[in-house]
């Protein structure tokens, strides 16, 4: 299945507000970023601290174009934390880091304009 995430694809199908509430998106802080040479596309293996309740989770993220491993340490990221884990090669990704595609389809993370605690939920 191919999903077109480009800005030209138009908006997605309408969902209910309750469906939106089912998607648990939270802020976490990257505490480790490692190369992931086995990945099909250039990626990092991340450990992200979502604070009390969710804890530390792992993710594979295709964000190597705009971010070095060093620049990711301490960075706050938004992730979906209630998808089932997904096997990516020999790595089990537990959360989906969210970002936007630039004009070359490389992922750009967003920046918060105020500090929020790890584990804060998007609403």
- Domain-by-domain residue ranges, the chain? 20-108
Q: Mind listing the pLDDT tens digit for each residue in 20-79?
A: 999 999 999 999 999 999 999 999 999 999 999 999 999 999 999 999 999 999 999 999
Q: Mind listing the pLDDT tens digit for each residue in 83-122?
A: 999 999 889 999 999 999 999 999 999 889 999 999 999 9
- Kindly tell me if the per-residue pLDDT of 3 is higher than 90: no
When the candidates are 3.40.50.720, 3.40.50.300, 1.10.10.10, 2.40.50.140, the CATH number that belongs to 20-108 is 2.40.50.140
- Kindly tell me if the per-residue pLDDT of 17 is higher than 50: yes
- Kindly tell me if the per-residue pLDDT of 5 is higher than 70: no
Tell me, what's the pLDDT at 10?
81
Backbone angles phi, psi at 20, to 5 degrees: -60, -45
| DSSP assignments along 42-102, one per residue | S-EEEEEE--TTT-EEEEEE--TTT--HHHHTT-EEEEE-SSPPEEETTEEE-SEE--EE-
Token digits of residue 66: 């705009």
């Amino acid at each position: 299945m191919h999903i077109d995430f480009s800005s030209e694809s138009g908006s997605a199908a309408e969902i209910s507000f309750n469906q939106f509430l089912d998607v648990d998106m939270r802020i976490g802080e990257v505490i480790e970023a490692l190369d992931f040479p086995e990945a099909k596309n250039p990626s990092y293996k991340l450990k992200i601290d979502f604070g009390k309740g969710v804890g530390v989770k792992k993710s594979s993220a295709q964000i190597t174009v705009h971010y070095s491993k060093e620049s990711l340490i301490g960075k706050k990221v938004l992730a979906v934390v209630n998808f089932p884990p997904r096997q990516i090669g020999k790595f089990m990704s537990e959360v989906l880091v969210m970002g936007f595609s630039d004009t070359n389809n490389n992922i750009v993370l967003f920046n918060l304009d105020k500090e929020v605690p790890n584990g804060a939920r998007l609403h």
